Structure 1
Amino acid sequence: MEIFLHHYPPSLFSEKIRLLLGYLELPWRSVIIPSIMPRPLLMPLSGGYRKTPVLQIGANVYCDSRIIARGLARHAGNTSLYAQGFAAHRVADWADSHLFAVTVALNFSPRAVAAMMGGFPPAEAAAFQQDRAELTRNSPPIATLSPAAALASVQHYLNELESSIGDGFLFGKQPTIADFSVYHCLWFLRNNPVNAALVVDRPAISAWMARMGAFGHGQMQESDGAAALAGALACDPVLPLVENELPDGFELGARVTVTPVDYGRIPVAGELVAWSREEVVIARQTEQTGSLLVHFPSSGFEVQHDTSA
């Protein structure tokens, strides 16, 4: 089964997964999607989920970088990525939520936005800003800190990291999921000329980022949305071997919706086929894709009975 990554180049969570694909030495096909809606060739696969990236392994679709990373580690037979347990997992979650929000506050400050969007035609820049407003509608804002407060936080975090990182990775001689989650946030900062010095002027962090960046993006082949749809249609989905731990009131086979709890709160509907400590899996079917299994993290998503069924 082929791996398709639906992404666009500046997406920081996509960079986390691109680098992980390189580390795991997995061949993959790159499907570049628009940075804003609509995404007509992706929606049949994701069921309406609109964050980036989305990973597809045959007819199995993974939504959210946390479950994408777990799915890729499982696919590659890698056991080291999550071997450090609670501490590494909590650092990864902190980076994917809080550190992400802080870096967004910095990179979307007026000066940083001007540097980032300066090459965009005015209509394209306005469309991007409108799309992000739609993404966070009826949700708390992603960035709640002022640029000054965000800068103070980032400087504190980076000073601590600079003094403790050593010559390996965050938790030893092998990278863990924490490394990939912290890396993509700092990659995002480094790619903005207004904020790049926060990263590049710290030699230990720069050396660690160079070690991470050396994994590269692996064996990538350019592809497109039509090929991804055909790839799903040609495969049968594979249900992962997980130990189900269903909450009271839910049973396998029930019609449910799965919705992010933070932003991009668009429910994806399907039949509940698995619910473990790490993931929720629903079955969906469309004419374009055939049968699919769509995977979400069990944390950070809300599962409800589908009252429209």
Structure 2
Amino acid sequence: MVLQNIVLFHHDPSPYGERIRKCFGLQNIPWKSCLVPMVMPRPAMTILSGGYRKIPVMQYGADIYCDTRLISQKINNLFNDLKLFSHGTLQNSALQSQSDQIFRSGAILSLIENKEYIPPEVVEDRMSFFTFINQKTAEKELNHHQSQFKKYAMDIDELLRENDFILGLQPNWADICCYANIFMAKGNIPSSFEWMKKLKNIDSWYQNLMSYGEGIREEISSQEALEIAKTSTPDLSNINHQNSDDENMPQPGDNVKVTPDDYGQISVQGELICVNLDEIVVTNETKEAGAIAIHFPRLGFIVEKII
């Protein structure tokens, strides 16, 4: 497998897409960009991901990786010099979880504060997709979400008082997760524009991370992405097949569905290859792309046997 066959399904405004683009930037990694619209349909991505619709999705040959938690780990494993987790997996994971939580406030602020400028179909899509948004009370809760986001940013600024990066002397996954939320605020949360200017530590850190760019990006079409999958074979050689000790868990060979446990709860069905403490892998056979393996992180996803 050549590394040039890394494909990212994304759209440029996405803060979660920015997480992975920044991973590429840290080591100037070559990758193929397959742009998708902000709202469905996304035909090629849907075929490859089995219906999973969160952005981004990474394709590596005939292996499809869902959720930035797992995508970042895959990229880190492919590129030994990246060292995204050099300051500890637990510390990085904790700051990702906090950033994921604050993203919810950011998403609400982005939608409500820019509602008159966003196409109605995008607003409608996000309001239904982001099940954490209460449409009846969202506008009344703006002050709360503004305070949550501001507290988060001020905490980051304090963490950066002593170091160039959040956990030490080099950028880690924690930096990227926090950076992506600030990226969202600077572009889409007008209420943050003025107070953000006062956070000087964040400003220099943000500019530093921006300077890494996004790697060597090459645009490709959806059809080209499908062709890459069709001419590749899923690589299951390095999967840990040691399953959970829970006897009630589905077993390899079972027909299962995998569903996010937060929002965007669209299930992906397939034959279970493995479920362990780190990863869930299912396979599907598609007419357009042949055999594919779809990978999910264990954390944040429900796997159930279809009876």
TM-score exceeds 0.5: yes
Contact preservation (8 Å) 1:107, 1:113: yes
Report the counterpart of residue 201 of structure 1 in structure 2: 198
**Equivalence map 1:260-271=2 (5 Å):** 260-271=260-271
The reply on whether 1:280 has 2:277 as its aligned counterpart is no
Alignment RMSD (CA, Å): 2.0
1:157 maps onto 2:155 in alignment: no
TM-score, structure 2 normalization: 0.90
- Runs of 4 or more, structure 1, over 6 Å off, are 142-145
Does structure 2 conserve the Cα–Cα contact (< 8 Å) formed by 1:274 and 1:281? yes
Aligned residues: 295
Helix, strand or coil: the match of 1:228?
helix
Instruction: Give CA deviations for 1:251-279 in whole Å, capped at 9, x if unaligned.
Output: 11111110011111111011111222221
Q: Tell me the distance in 2 between the aligned counterparts of 1:240 and 1:191.
A: 42
Q: Percent identity?
A: 28
Instruction: Summarize deviations over 1:58-113 as a string: whole Å, max 9, x none.
Output: 101011111111111112235721231312211112112x111121232223xx21
SS at match of 1:293: strand
2:302, 2:75 → 1: CA distance?
23
* Structure 1 segment 45-60 matched on structure 2, within 5 A: 45-60=48-63
Distance 2:156 2:237 in 1: 36
Q: By how many angstroms is 1:154 displaced?
A: 2.2
Which of 226, 239, 243 is the equivalent residue of 2:236? 239
Residue 219 (structure 1) aligned with residue 211 (structure 2): no
TM-aligned CA distance change 1:292 to 1:201, over 3 Å:
same
Q: Which amino acid aligns with 2:276?
A: S
Letter in 2 for 1:81: L
Answer yes or no: is the 8 Å Cα contact 1:190–1:197 preserved in 2: no
AA at the equivalent of 2:273: V
1:188 aligns with 2:192: no
Quick one: structure 1 residues 169 and 292, their matched pair in 2 at CA, closer, same or farther if it must change by over 3 Å?
same
Gaps of 5+ in 2: none
For residues 142 and 293 of structure 1, do their structure 2 counterparts lie closer, same or farther at Cα, with a shift above 3 Å needed?
Answer: farther
Which amino acid in structure 2 is aligned with residue 261 of structure 1? D
TM-score by length of 1: 0.89
CA distance in 2: counterparts of 1:201 and 1:108, whole angstroms = 24
Which residue in the other structure is 2:25 paired with?
22
Which residue in the other structure is 2:14 paired with? Answer: 11
Q: Secondary structure at the match of 2:54?
A: coil
